[in-house]
A and B are shown apart, each in its own frame.
Chain A
Amino acid sequence: MVTRGFAGRDSGRDQSDRIPPGQHLVENFPVLTAGPTPLVETADWRFTLKIGPKPHKVWNWHEFNALPKTKMTRDIHCVTAWSKLNTNWEGVTIDDILADAGLERPTDFVLARCYDGYSTNVPSRDLASLKAMVALKYEGQPLPRDHGGPARLLVPHLYFWKSAKWVNTLQFTNRDEAGFWELRGYHIYGDPWREQRYSND
């Protein structure tokens, strides 16, 4: 349905092959979080890899930063309909985390857990083959607290709620266990190109 009198902004139209349906381009970096912004000191920071309920390996900040670093430039897409192009990230790919833990792909699904109690689920294959990382830097700077610092998950090909801020655990699970927003009506997978915003989309 065409809306009477609505023309829309020009910006973004020429890039439409990079902007998924229903999304619009932003230059700023909006913040959406369901609770207070946690304050996590790197001295206290721990990252745990679990298989089922069992911790398999734990890294502190120093140990984690000694893992191989990878840079990624990606477009990101938030379910609240903004997209941001060419964002620059640096961190440790999930492939490198698994290699350091001596694992390949323990199970087919992952539940990422965070310092603020947030969680989100992602299939293991969506984290593998350099598709995802635990990001430590944004635009060359330590990741700001508002954007999930010291470390967040980055899964740029899915809606951005999957890129969990303040991540502290990747838990490999046998079943696809719904995370925080997935339990509250958001799509279990969240592909922006198929506009999978809510459960029945």
Chain B
Amino acid sequence: MTECGARSASWQTCIIDEIVQQTPRIKSFFMRLSTPFAHVAGQHVDIRLTAPDGYVAMRSYSIASSPSSSEVIELAIELLPTGEVSLFFHEIAVVGDEVELRGPLGGHFLWPELASGPILLIGAGSGVVPLMAMIRQRRALAQTVPTALLLSSRTIRDTPFSEELLAVEMADPTFRFSLAVTQEASQRSSDFSRRIDGAMVGDVVSRLPNRPAHVFVCGSNAFVNFATDGALMAGLDPSMIKTERYGG
């Protein structure tokens, strides 16, 4: 597989087309691009906000939409207390506002064009965003590579995209979705009510027809460390694990 790069992405203005509350802390922002681009599922954009005095704040946000819908991309932003940019999006931005954006960026955390085996996706909170793009791309292309998603969140209400994920699972026997809720009891037998650990990753892996050839883990750094430790304990090979860490 060749990994394409982040080359030559220039700043463009985009318009917020629609805002959807996904969970109490996560909102989706549908951004209409002035210069549409084709991205690879897993990539992100940089957003740049400018204050009247010229002060600039720049942050990265993964693309949640699949590459097949390219004029409007979906971002899903989690509200952080006192977060400079996430607070702006949650409390100030309204439909019709313009913001600057550049992308697509990132040349590593990419859905493989040709998977050499099953795929395991692990995410928490807004870390599910690039995994959603992957799941949607897989659906759009009617790919059948066996894929399992292990998603961690505090409660079922805090789980973004859960309705869509349950619907994909119903419609597609080669896609498995397991939820790990940490602050309430799980509701389905395929779900868990504890933090991700090696046994849990092992369980999810055993629901795939054979061992995963690609593992994608995304979320906060602390979560990614937990999840990758779990994956390594479950015997997965570190060289096939790609991580996207949202910094802190």
Map CB proximity to A onto B1-45 as digits: 1 under 8 Å, 0 otherwise: 001111111000100000000000000000000000000000000
- Residues 1-60 of A contacting B (Cβ, < 8 Å): 1-9, 13, 21-24, 28, 30-38
CA distance A36 to B109 in the complex (A): 13
Identify A80's interface contact among B52, B60, B108, CB under 8 A: B60
A-B contact count (CB 8 A): 127
Identify B3's interface contact among A21, A31, A183, A199, CB under 8 A: A183
Determine if A24 and B58 form an interchain contact, defined as CB atoms under 8 angstroms apart.
Answer: yes
User: If the complex has contacts A82-B247, A198-B7, are A1 and B50 also in contact, measured as CB distance less than 8 A?
Assistant: yes
Determine if B50 and A183 form an interchain contact, defined as CB atoms under 8 angstroms apart.
Answer: no
Map CB proximity to B onto A157-178 as digits: 1 under 8 Å, 0 otherwise: 0000000000000000000000
- Residues 220-248 of B contacting A (Cβ, < 8 Å): 221, 224-225, 228-229, 231-232, 238-239, 241-243, 245, 247-248
Determine if A3 and B51 form an interchain contact, defined as CB atoms under 8 angstroms apart.
Answer: yes
User: If the complex has contacts A32-B247, A36-B231, A80-B247, are A3 and B58 also in contact, measured as CB distance less than 8 A?
Assistant: no
Instruction: Count how many chain B residues have C-beta atoms less than 8 Å from C-beta atoms of the other chain.
Output: 48
CA distance A30 to B247 in the complex (A): 4
User: If the complex has contacts A31-B247, A80-B60, are A1 and B6 also in contact, measured as CB distance less than 8 A?
Assistant: no
Report the minimal beta-carbon distance from A181 to chain B, rounded to whole angstroms: 8
Report the minimal beta-carbon distance from B85 to chain A, rounded to whole angstroms: 9
CA distance A35 to B52 in the complex (A): 39
B247: chain A residues within 8 A (beta carbon): 30-32, 80, 82
Report the minimal beta-carbon distance from B231 to chain A, rounded to whole angstroms: 7
Report the minimal beta-carbon distance from B169 to chain A, rounded to whole angstroms: 27
CA distance A199 to B229 in the complex (A): 33
Determine if A186 and B49 form an interchain contact, defined as CB atoms under 8 angstroms apart.
Answer: no
Report the minimal beta-carbon distance from A26 to chain B, rounded to whole angstroms: 8
Determine if B97 and A4 form an interchain contact, defined as CB atoms under 8 angstroms apart.
Answer: yes
Residues of chain A at the chain B interface (Cβ within 8 Å): 1-9, 13, 21-24, 28, 30-38, 80-82, 116-117, 146, 180-181, 183-186, 198-200
Pick 5 A–B contacts, CB within 8 A, sort by A: A1-B50, A31-B221, A35-B243, A37-B225, A146-B221
**Besides A117-B239, A185-B4, 5 new A-B residue pairs in contact (Cβ under 8 A), listed by A number:** A2-B51, A3-B97, A31-B248, A32-B245, A35-B243
